[in-house]
A and B are shown apart, each in its own frame.
Chain A
């Protein structure tokens, strides 16, 4: 798939916390496209001669498009992205990124927005809060971090949003309870971003508290952990190809390796861009895009994360 790319230059690097750095990016030529709160870009980073894709939420104020700002946390188990940003990138370096995409948009009909952030999960909410604040729309933030020192944008958030933001530091034994969502006014929408465990806990609580599913929003930064993977075979009827998908690769990866013109975007099972039709075989759904109903009634799958329950899948591609 030919993905159009933007060329940007690193304009400024700032250490937000000992583990988090923020990067301001400016266009090499022309203007940067505008973005909406919750949007992210994909950075194409060099990695041992190849290029890897990593997604970063845009944290700046969407009202301006003079620069993009992202924040990256150094991860011990880095799959390549954070190490590159923390150790290799210098001011003035040029990199390629995608156009902005939004898989976590603000609800238009919501009367009140509740943001729940765990660690680096604060990033999408930075732009969303700037947008809502400018519009005078009601919101509140609940932000869990290890400590004040390790809480990215702590001062910035307190200064701008005052009592609308509440912090929970694990070093002070402060836990962020799901009850922050309890008995909120009608028309409240809740948004979660952070570790998968936190998201699962809050999603389940929101349903128990009576939130309709259309009022619950979340974004994962990495694919959900869904158990051991088994290899399987994929027969592509329109491409006349038989592909072997090993345990450590996704069907989408294998299709792209074979030059199949497969669409995709997030690659973590959340956006639906890579959705394909399944003619035969039992799908092992591991995405968080299709509804439970769709998983059982529509003959489709999300190949960037989903696999096969049977040995073989026959795909209409």
Chain B
């Protein structure tokens, strides 16, 4: 990407407190797997938050150092990738005109990122005019992880993706798997018939009507990259938890997932925006503290085990209990 010739300070994003914008995933006092998708209104994929610069820089660092882990694509996805790039650039320039602009002259595009002072001119469909594949390129301008699911021969396949902040799953391993295959490790979801139901739902998603859902897990530490490849680096955190540090170390990790039909290639764009909220901030919202407390008290063991927090669940409950009305 080229630096822009005119020197302008990078645009600043309005800082809204985390607690006011964090997507809280629990709608009831108990949590079970379900198809909790709802229509995405307004139909916007990308969410720019105050953490933009920090997260995008971190994402690009991971992409440079660990390309095989963070970016994978099968050759037949190129046309879909161009479509995704076009769709997201259109969206960014329309929804965030202060931060991005896109200039189209026939098939000659110029994309500008005012937050990072970058500019790229390229020809739509011509790979030689971009520094990397289209999905990889546009992914480097947003905080979201972007996964492309190809709909082919009656099933959905994970055929391309840029994944820097996974919740303990490997794109390098899962590439090319069908929907049921890449969900097979998830207990209850994969063996109750729910996964099949959601698959049928996904295959009927229509262009112009995107959907969204929230997924969640628990993080120890403020680290976005919780890939299985680096488990040795972040997996030990839970062993050093105690009453004093649990509020600071343990985070509620929410994935804001958005699903768009890519109508040119008939596939689905699946974006994941990951948000982290430490318990000690979460409890400032008393109703959230109470709700989360009840969810943890009720959650079935297989789910707690799969999400990796079964060993310190009592510690979390003990911490939250202090903020729950008697």
Q: Is the CB of A36 within 8 A of B152?
A: no
Q: Does B265 contact A (CB under 8 A)?
A: yes
- Compute how far the CA of A107 lies from the CA of B39 in the bound complex, rounded to whole angstroms: 29
Q: Is the CB of B204 within 8 A of A34?
A: no
Q: Does A101 contact B (CB under 8 A)?
A: yes
| Contacts of B7-46 to chain A: CB distance below 8 A | 39, 43
Q: Is the CB of B264 within 8 A of A271?
A: no
- Compute how far the CA of A214 lies from the CA of B209 in the bound complex, rounded to whole angstroms: 28
Q: Is the CB of B263 within 8 A of A271?
A: no
Q: Is the CB of B153 within 8 A of A99?
A: no
User: What residue in chain B is nearest A103 (Cβ atoms)?
Assistant: B204
Write out the residue numbers on chain B whose beta carbons fall within 8 Å of the beta carbon of A34. Answer: 83, 263-265
Interface of B is mostly: loop
Nearest chain A CB to B120 CB, angstrom units: 20
- Compute how far the CA of A254 lies from the CA of B153 in the bound complex, rounded to whole angstroms: 34
Q: Is the CB of A99 within 8 A of B208?
A: yes
| Contacts of B186-216 to chain A: CB distance below 8 A | 200, 204, 206-209
Write out the residue numbers on chain B whose beta carbons fall within 8 Å of the beta carbon of A214. Answer: 153-154
| Contacts of A112-155 to chain B: CB distance below 8 A | none
When the two chains form the complex, which single residue of A36, A107, A109, A265 contacts B263, counting CB atoms closer than 8 Å? A36
Q: Is the CB of B263 within 8 A of A108?
A: no
Q: Does A81 contact B (CB under 8 A)?
A: no
What is the size category of the interface that chain B forms with chain A? Answer: 20 to 34
A108-B208 contact, Cβ under 8 Å, with A36-B264, A36-B266: no
Nearest chain A CB to B269 CB, angstrom units: 13
Q: Does A50 contact B (CB under 8 A)?
A: no
- Interface residue count for A (Cβ, 8 Å)? 27
Q: Is the CB of A100 within 8 A of B265?
A: no
Q: Is the CB of A102 within 8 A of B266?
A: yes
Q: Is the CB of A33 within 8 A of B207?
A: yes
Q: Which of B39, B150, B206, B209 has the most CB of A within 10 A?
A: B206
Nearest chain A CB to B196 CB, angstrom units: 10
Q: Does B219 contact A (CB under 8 A)?
A: no
Q: Which of A2, A6, A108 has the most CB of B within 10 A?
A: A108
Q: Does B113 contact A (CB under 8 A)?
A: no
User: What residue in chain B is nearest A273 (Cβ atoms)?
Assistant: B204
Q: Is the CB of A101 within 8 A of B207?
A: yes
Residues of B at the A interface (CB closer than 8 Å) are 39, 43, 76, 83, 90, 150-154, 200, 204, 206-209, 261, 263-266
Residues of A at the B interface (CB closer than 8 Å) are 2-4, 6, 31, 33-36, 39, 62, 65, 98-102, 105, 107-109, 214, 265, 271-273, 275
